[in-house]
């Protein structure tokens, strides 16, 4: 389990979700918000939950914020609060600051302040949703430099029953297959049938053909991934 101490400032939907997930992974989490109602909602799920004004340096110092391994500033609509809190953390020389931006403009301002780790989750969700609307075969993707993506694609119709080597992904589409996700039918301890996903890390080495519902994790340029989907559908 991971160790370390982390502070989440701003307990809206995003901040509280990060705090809960960090805590579930074994991290020591301090959850901070100026609204006592939001603090009360999460206090039983994290190590510490504190109601305070993060734009007040004395309040931050009272919580030994500089001892944290990382601080996530997840303040949403209150732009002034986001920026003032970030400036204070920078002045206090917190070792690692991660800030959530609500817009490209906020991202630019945070960069000029000196923040190097900036999240723009709404933008990423928007890109992913648009991609999935245009291509229902795409389940998830990660944007990489040089127009490359890592994409999880439902095995297209024409690939079912074929070996992965037969698809010639490298030669025809200049693509690398990283993994294969396959759903298995399993019986649980109560005797009920469950469907669980399992990851096959070296799919080329598996001596089996692609099955309906298999998902291919592919690294390639967006245009080559699209070509693979179009040809095989």
Whether 1 shows a pLDDT value over 70: the answer reads: no
Q: What is the pLDDT of residue 2?
A: 54
Return the CATH number of the domain spanning residue range 5-119.
3.40.50.720
Eight-class DSSP state of 133: H
Q: Which fold has domain 125-232?
A: Alpha-Beta Plaits (3.30.70)
Report whether 8 contacts 32 (CB < 8 A).
yes
Rounded CA separation 90/114 (Å): 8
Domain boundaries, the chain: 5-119, 125-232
pLDDT in tens, 22-51: 998 889 999 999 999 999 999 999 999 999
| Other C-beta atoms lying within 10 Å of the C-beta of residue 179 | 16
Q: Which residues are within 8 A (CB) of 230 and not within 5 positions of it... i.e. 6 or more apart?
A: none
- % pLDDT > 70, the chain: 98
Give per-residue pLDDT as tens, 188-221.
Answer: 878 888 888 888 888 877 777 899 989 999 999 9
Q: Annotate 10-47 with DSSP letters as a single string.
A: --SHHHHHHHHHHHHTT-EEEEEES-HHHHHHHTTTSS
- Asked whether the whole model's pTM tops 0.75, one would answer no
Q: Do domains 5-119 and 125-232 have the same CATH topology?
A: no
């Amino acid at each position: 389990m991971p160790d370390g101490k982390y502070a989440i400032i701003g307990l809206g939907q995003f901040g509280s979700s990060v705090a809960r997930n960090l805590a579930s992974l074994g991290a020591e989490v301090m959850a901070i918000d100026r609204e006592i109602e939001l603090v009360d909602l999460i206090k039983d799920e994290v190590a510490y939950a504190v109601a305070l004004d993060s734009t007040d340096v004395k309040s931050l110092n009272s919580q030994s914020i500089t001892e944290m391994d990382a601080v996530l500033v997840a303040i949403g609509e209150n732009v002034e609060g986001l920026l003032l809190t970030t400036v204070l953390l920078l002045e206090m020389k917190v070792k690692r600051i991660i800030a959530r931006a609500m817009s490209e403009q906020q991202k630019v301002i945070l960069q000029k302040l000196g923040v190097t780790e900036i999240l723009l989750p709404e933008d990423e969700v928007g890109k992913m949703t648009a991609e999935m609307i245009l291509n229902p075969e795409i389940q998830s993707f990660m944007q990489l430099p040089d127009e490359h993506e890592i994409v999880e694609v439902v095995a297209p119709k024409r690939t079912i029953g074929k070996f992965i080597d037969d698809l010639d992904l490298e030669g025809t589409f200049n693509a690398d297959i990283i993994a294969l996700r396959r759903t298995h039918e399993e019986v649980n301890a109560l005797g009920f049938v469950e469907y669980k996903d399992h990851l096959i890390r070296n799919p080329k080495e598996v001596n089996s053909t692609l099955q309906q519902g298999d998902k291919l994790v592919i690294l390639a340029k967006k245009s080559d991934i699209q070509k693979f989907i179009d040809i095989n559908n």
